[in-house]
Amino acid sequence: MNDKEMFQFLMDLVRLDTNSVERKNYWKAAQMIEDKAKEIGLKTYIHVHKDEKGEVPNVIAWKDIGAERNLVLLSHYDVVPARGPWKLEGREFSPFEPLRLNGRIYGRGAADDKSAIALSLSAAERVLDLDKGRYNPVVVVVGDEEAGGTGISAVARSGFEEAGISPDRVIVVDAAPDFVGIGASGVVHGTLIVRGRGGHAGRPFMAINPIHIAIELASNLLIGFAQQHSSRISIIPAPPGSPVSKLWGRFSFTIMRAGDKNNVIPNEAELGFDMRIIPDDDKADAVERFKAAVQTAALKIGAEVDIRIEETLNPGWMMDPSHEFVNEVLESYEKYFGGRRLAGSLGGNDGFVFARRGIPTVSVGTIENESNAHGDLENVKEEVVIRVRDLLVDLMSE
């Protein structure tokens, strides 16, 4: 694919609403990716993970060009949900009808992570045109990354074996372009259910308002647990522009749900949360510390609280910065981005599946701060897409 074709393929992918909540258009996306991979000369295999929610098709596309090692270029086609219309410079457009403007492509998934799919396939095609290379390209595109890593966990468990290939080195192309990632945060999601006693809002003294209790509980946890959790500091650097020099723990309430009528006090309220764990920490220990903090806060304010932890699979990961693969990536990175910057990712990514199996893993991608990933007007800078693609070609070339 030349640059024009690469960006056209990216925009075609953005037009598919592949949100992970509904697992929408998963098969359409996988088929589109497989067709493009075959078109550029790659062998393909679709590994299907099945669970109670349905199917997650995961695409594995590769070509043996005679190198001793395989390099996995890992990305994902699923996205977080989006509501439109979006508005930019007086224009209204759907999040799933990409807008190309001023050197950027706007649309849900443009940055996270469909630009990674397009540039990985473009890089693989360019490597196939060479007589020989340092690595055999293996493009892996999975679903359910935004749901905690279901797709890649299934591929690692049986997909590679079924396809008949092995992952020797991995680049997670679901990352920022301003550093080479040598780690990423672990992720814990969950919900606190605060129970009360409902009633008429005109007679609040007859009820126990769970919303008021939930607000007090959240305040206690933000003053106590969240601050304690933020004091857990990693040994690996934080990304440029972070308020702390090393990767650190983070805790946020992200969902509040209660009631459905203004004059009715509900029986319960829900607080959804996101907890990011440094890769040096133990995920199970972090969960137990959180549960203890909730129980302590609930006892203090007299709240009845249920804690529901959602299994996200991702405990975080990190790499030895002195590993030869890290240095190889840094050499290529320096050619296209200048400098040799290493850091850990504030977000989680699917690199944990490989790094925790001892497979050398790093990350670099197109998701800038300005990309507004997961938000309105998500976008990717075309120049960055080209530079990441060329970095990968340089790395795989001899």
Residues 212 and 284 in one domain: yes
Structure tokens at 252: 């946020």
Residues 31 and 88 in one domain: yes
Residues 42 and 173 in one domain: yes
Confidence of residue 312 (pLDDT cuts 50, 70, 90): confident
Residues 15 and 157 in one domain: yes
Residues 192 and 253 in one domain: yes
Residues 283 and 378 in one domain: no
Q: Which of 263, 295, 310 is the last residue of a domain?
A: 310
Residues 170 and 190 in one domain: no
Amino acid 313: pLDDT: 83
pLDDT digits (tens, 9 = 90+) for 335-351: 999 999 999 999 889 99
pLDDT digits (tens, 9 = 90+) for 229-288: 999 999 999 999 999 999 999 999 999 999 999 999 999 999 999 999 999 999 999 999
Residues 198 and 55 in one domain: no
The closest alpha carbon to 180, from 76, 315, 69, 332, belongs to: 332
The closest alpha carbon to 266, from 335, 353, 168, 200, belongs to: 200
CB 316 within 8 A of CB 184: yes
Q: Is the pLDDT of residue 227 over 90?
A: yes
Query: Three-class SS string for the chain?
Result: CCHHHHHHHHHHHHCCCCECCCCCCHHHHHHHHHHHHHHCCCEEEEEEEEECCEEEEEEEEECCCCCCEEEEEEEECCECCCCCCEEECCEEECCCCCEEECCEEECCCHHHHHHHHHHHHHHHHHHHCCCCECEEEEEEEECCCCCCCHHHHHHHHHHHHHHCCCCCEEEECCCCCCCEEEEECEEEEEEEEEECECEECCCHHHCECHHHHHHHHHHHHHHCHHHHHHCCEEEEECCCCCCCCEEECEEEEEEEEECCCCCEECCEEEEEEEEEECCCCCHHHHHHHHHHHHHHHHHHHCCEEEEEEECCCCCCEECCCCCHHHHHHHHHHHHHHCCCCEEEECCCCCCHHHHCCCCCEEECCCCCHHHCCCCCCCEEEHHHHHHHHHHHHHHHEC
Distance CA 319, CA 357 (A): 11
Amino acid 213: pLDDT: 98
Distance CA 351, CA 329 (A): 15
Q: Is the pLDDT of residue 368 over 80?
A: yes
Query: 334 is in which domain, residue-wise?
Result: 3-183+317-396
Confidence of residue 125 (pLDDT cuts 50, 70, 90): very high
Q: Which of 250, 277, 310 is the last residue of a domain?
A: 310
Amino acid 131: pLDDT: 73
The CATH number linked to 202 is 3.30.70.360
Residues 50 and 90 in one domain: yes
Backbone angles phi, psi at 389, to 5 degrees: -60, -45
Distance CA 286, CA 277 (A): 7
Q: Which of 310, 343, 368 is the last residue of a domain?
A: 310
Give the global pTM.
0.90
Backbone Cα Rg of the chain? 22
The CATH number linked to 26 is 3.40.630.10
The domain total for the chain is 2
Amino acid 311: pLDDT: 76
Residues 172 and 234 in one domain: no
Amino acid 254: pLDDT: 96
Work out the mean pLDDT of the chain and round it to a whole number.
Answer: 96
Residues 205 and 230 in one domain: yes
Residues 29 and 161 in one domain: yes
Amino acid 89: pLDDT: 94
Q: Is the pLDDT of residue 155 over 90?
A: yes
Amino acid 233: pLDDT: 98
